Structure 1
Amino acid sequence: LHVGHATHARLAGLARAHGASLFMVVQAALAALLTREGAGTDIPIGTPVAGRTDESLDDLVGCFVNTLVLRTDTGGDPSFTDLLDRVRRTGLAAYSHQDVPFEHLVDVLNPARSAARHPLFQVLLSLHHAADLPVELPGLRVRAEETRSRSAKFDLLFRLAERNTPDGGPGGLEGGVEYSTDLFDRSTAEGLVTRFERLLDAVAADPGRRIWRLDILPPAERERVLTGWNATERPLPPATLPELFEAQVARTPDAVAVAGEGVTLSYAELDAWAAKLVRALTGRGAGPERVVAVVLPRSVELVVALLAVLKSGAAYLPVDPALPAERVRILLDEARPVCVLDDVDGVRNPRPEAASAARTVPLSPSHPAYVLYTSGSTGTPKGVVVPH
């Protein structure tokens, strides 16, 4: 992870302008990134603290390091400067209690424990000054030895060091991200690093921008998300819904098509039942550019009725039987259906009229398939005609 000296200088200036530390700026940026990545708006981030608030510990050899939990609220899509002010307030309050041992905090809060994760946070952030601090002990030669762990202690660990130029100016931030391989692969972690670097650059350039407007995607990833993943257009088959259904009947005549209320129909049975009803509907004028209202409860008969209307070439108008009578009257007056299917027994045992005949007008994909009406909450309900 690398942040250039120019961005480092602007971030340090932003921290000074808001009475915050550079760490708070980086913490706010990390919280914004995690929110953008889908972690929600209540972001707890852990950080190590030296644990040497008492001056009497200054010259004492030993490890007093404690872990602090910094909780960040990113809700409401704040500007980054507003988020930084939130981080500053909650951070100062947290630092005032940094002497409370982390183990004691866990005991008091008693969260649900799991061997799969840290109890109070899953992401840790550290930022330290990278200047070599001389260590002198009488009669000893002293040098620092770096150690490497082969296991991750957290889901994600962001470790940064602040570099300075020879004249003491900002020289950039450098570090890396340690990740749990149970949760992330290397490419995912590298993507997080890239987006974090870009977010810090965006914050430095325009800290007044809202966090959801900060640019974090590199050009190739932006192209993939906005264009590549959305290239889902396909040519529509020049077929109507009855034709598609009949093709399925031919492929799997014995497969279950509808099940409900103790009744199970195969595709062949559903097709045959609907065909009987089609003859009754066409005898009453059903056909292309006509509407048939269907006022039936949720049932197998409702499915048969809708399919029969489509096979007749007409468009169905679904009407909930529980609607007020005045609402139903408005729908029927507006749609002017050639007939209304409101009798379950009539669907079960249709009576074709003597003049009934099969549809003679060809049905095309542009013909209406069904009509839906708006709620009418702001005026008279409006019908929307949907073609095949």
Structure 2
Amino acid sequence: MSLLTGQSEVVTGLVSNSRPEKSDGEQALGLFLNTLPFRLDVTQGAWGELIRRTFEAELQMLPYRRYPIAELQSNLGGQPLFEAVFNYVHFHVYENILRIKGLEVLGVKIFEETNFALLADFGLDLNSSQVQLHIAYKLDELTGEQIRAINGYYETALTLIADEAVGTGEQHRHLLSEAERQQLLFDWNDTEREYPRDACIHQMFEAQARRTPDAIALSFGRERLTYRQLNERANRLARHLLRRLTKEEEVVGVCLGRSIGMVVSLLAVLKAGAAYLPLDPDYPAERLRAMVEDAGAGLLVTLQEIGGRVTGGEGVDLEVVSLDKEGEQIEGESGEDLGRGSGADNLAYVIYTSGSTGNPKGVMATHRASINRFCWMWKAFPFESDEVCCQKTSLSFVDSVWEIWGPLLRGVKLLIIPDAAVKDPARLVKILSDERVSRLVLVPSLLRAILETEV
């Protein structure tokens, strides 16, 4: 059970014989079997030590062996106490019967049924003194292949116990076969695949823009941007940012609502050789400033009306690029590709955790790591022609990385959903339907809300 569940402490059902322990008690008719929960810590150690601790645990349980399992379960709210049951049978009474002269056993008819996922029924053969194992299981929970593997684990365990008892073999408790260890340790970990290891996110976007310059890249309300237009706008902003950046791989905060300008800014930061730090304008000002300070950001891309929420605190030393205030200057820059930028090992972005278990922590991701993930997604869930994706996740959540760059690096149209629509399931569903969105990233709660929405 420990091997199957991955837990060092396991709970199984143990069948106990509660027949009266007195003279002629075996002659009493009736069902005296009871099944009780049996908890045991099976941490590493010799088999002999495990057997000793098992025996001690059984002795501790012995005074309670007649407590009805149905009543115990009822006292605990009716919840299942275990899913697997262990039973050992040694019908020593039959030995005396078989010795009766002239008595011949013509046959035995047994009917068994279990409502547990797994029942391991061990018995001692009276004629050969061999241990027999009968496994019963529920077909809707376990497969024949899994049961054959479990049977193999029991067989291996018995062999190891016997070898340890006579002083032969290694003293270990590895129940997996060599084939299973090979599969778990090597075959399943052989995940290396070919992908563009030296490419950066912005470089792959530029390549896509050259392939499909006139295809729609972004859609937001009534505004549309082709791949050529998005690339040129990002190039202009990147050149503008380069005039303010002071070092390579600098962290640049991006505090913008969901919009085309937001995507342009992210792409521009990457083209400038920097890493972007998403700052959700709806976050508390104190948290925004704390992330900026912790990440060591020296530059902020934002709008005049929201930038003060980040720069207004004490100790915040940020140079600010206001897209609305500096729009004319940005438009005056060249729209040609810069021909420079980061390397694959450089940072692409820094995203902070929610802080639900403590202070938010910045998670740094490189271009290579991001491209690696994108390539897996493209292979596992390839885009079809004329697909439409949507961007609806806050930049402060890592899901936004795939939402934005997964489609754009493959020439797929990206629909940006307004903040207000994301919070209104009915409006969101209508937009998804009207725009023929073919795929989106969802948390279960939003999926449930969408499925329950009538349009």
TM-score by shorter chain over 0.5: yes
Q: Aligned letter for 1:199?
A: A
Structure 1 residues 358, 293: closer, same or farther in 2, change over 3 A? farther
Contact kept in structure 2, 1:282 and 1:359, CA below 8 Å: no
For residues 165-202 of structure 1, the C-alpha deviation after alignment (integer angstroms, 9 at most, x for no partner) is 98xxxx54222211111111111100111123223444
Structure 1 residues 83, 264: closer, same or farther in 2, change over 3 A? farther
Structure 1 residues 253, 67: closer, same or farther in 2, change over 3 A? farther
The aligned residue for residue 161 of structure 1 is: 123
Superposed CA RMSD in Å reads: 4.6
The aligned residue for residue 186 of structure 2 is: 227
Q: Which has the higher contact order (CA 8 A, sep 6+)?
A: 1
Q: Aligned letter for 1:352?
A: I
Q: Which runs of 4+ in 1 moved over 6 A?
A: 136-140, 264-267, 381-385
In structure 1, which of residues 79, 89, 92 is the aligned counterpart of residue 45 of structure 2? 79
Secondary structure of 1:361's counterpart equals: coil
Matched length: 321
> Given the alignment of the two structures, is residue 368 of structure 1 paired with residue 346 of structure 2, yes or no?
yes
Q: Aligned letter for 1:180?
A: K
Q: How does 1:1-388 map to 2 (within 5 A)?
A: 34-38=1-5, 40=7, 43-58=10-25, 60-74=27-41, 77-79=43-45, 83-112=50-79, 119-129=80-90, 132-135=94-97, 143=105, 145-147=107-109, 149=111, 151-163=113-125, 172-203=130-161, 214-237=173-196, 239-245=199-205, 250=212, 253-254=215-216, 268=225, 272-273=229-230, 275-285=232-242, 290-297=248-255, 299-300=257-258, 302-310=262-270, 312-318=271-277, 322=287, 328=293, 331=296, 340-345=299-304, 346-347=322-323, 350=327, 351-352=329-330, 354=332, 356=334, 358-361=336-339, 366=344, 368-370=346-348, 386-388=366-368
**TM-score of the two chains, using structure 2 as the length reference:** 0.56
**Percent of aligned positions that are identical:** 17
For residues 148-168 of structure 1, the C-alpha deviation after alignment (integer angstroms, 9 at most, x for no partner) is 5485432111111235898xx
**TM-score of the two chains, using structure 1 as the length reference:** 0.64
In 1: Cα distance, 2:161 partner to 2:222 partner: 61
Structure 1 residues 382, 103: closer, same or farther in 2, change over 3 A? closer
Q: Which runs of 5+ in 1 are unaligned?
A: 1-33, 113-118, 208-212, 376-380
Structure 1 residues 361, 206: closer, same or farther in 2, change over 3 A? farther
Contact kept in structure 2, 1:282 and 1:358, CA below 8 Å: no
Q: Which runs of 5+ in 2 are unaligned?
A: 166-171, 280-284, 305-321, 354-360, 369-455
For residues 206-247 of structure 1, the C-alpha deviation after alignment (integer angstroms, 9 at most, x for no partner) is 69xxxxx73111111111222221222111225431243356
Contact kept in structure 1, 2:235 and 2:334, CA below 8 Å: no
